[in-house]
Amino acid sequence: MNSMNTTQFTFPSDKEIVMERVFDAPPKRVFEACTDPDLIPQWWGPKRYTTTIDKDELRPGGTWRYISRDSEGNEYAFNGVYREIVPPRRIVRTFEFEGMSGHVSVETAMFEEQEGRTKLRVVALFQTVEDRDGMLNSGMEAGASESWDRLAELLKELGRDNTTNNKTYYPSHIL
């Protein structure tokens, strides 16, 4: 599959959504952009929204909550709990859109090195077929594609080195 410059969606079962894309940056850089609370707001969600990090405790058992706001002040919040973090290879966490409270999926993000690039594969496992279909009907594919387009642009801006602003954002307890 050629997923460079585009996000690919597949549906291996009636309770799963798989998103894949190859980013032109090494896994450490992509992992950092996906976990650094200073970088996440620069790519998370559609560009027409402003995203803030309400909470991001990057450790197993830690919670996260991101809030996206539109130009009219409407808020769309997402939250979950980190289950596993293996820098820069894997993140497992729960995901819940607060607008549909109680419908929690488990996301497994895998960062695979491919000749200096990174294949990011996220598997979202839903509790029911209806939960998966509800997510698809919400416009998730368009939103996720735009987010990952923005992530690709951010990675391009950051360059291909392995640090951001001379820091590495891996809390010592997860290394």
Q: pLDDT tens for residues 74-98?
A: 999 999 999 999 999 999 999 999 9
- The answer to whether residue 90 sits within a structural domain is yes
Number of domains within the chain: 1
**Structural domain that includes position 95:** 8-159
Range 147-174 average pLDDT? 69
CATH of the domain at 143: 3.30.530.20
- The answer to whether residue 167 sits within a structural domain is no
- The answer to whether residue 3 sits within a structural domain is no
Residue-wise over 2-32: b if at least 16 C-beta within 10 A, else e? ebeeebeeeeeeebebbbbbbbebbbbbbbb
- The answer to whether residue 174 sits within a structural domain is no
DSSP state of 149: H
- The answer to whether residue 63 sits within a structural domain is yes
- The answer to whether residue 20 sits within a structural domain is yes
- The answer to whether residue 14 sits within a structural domain is yes
Encode pLDDT of 93-142 as tens digits: 999 999 888 999 999 999 999 999 999 999 999 999 999 999 999 888 99
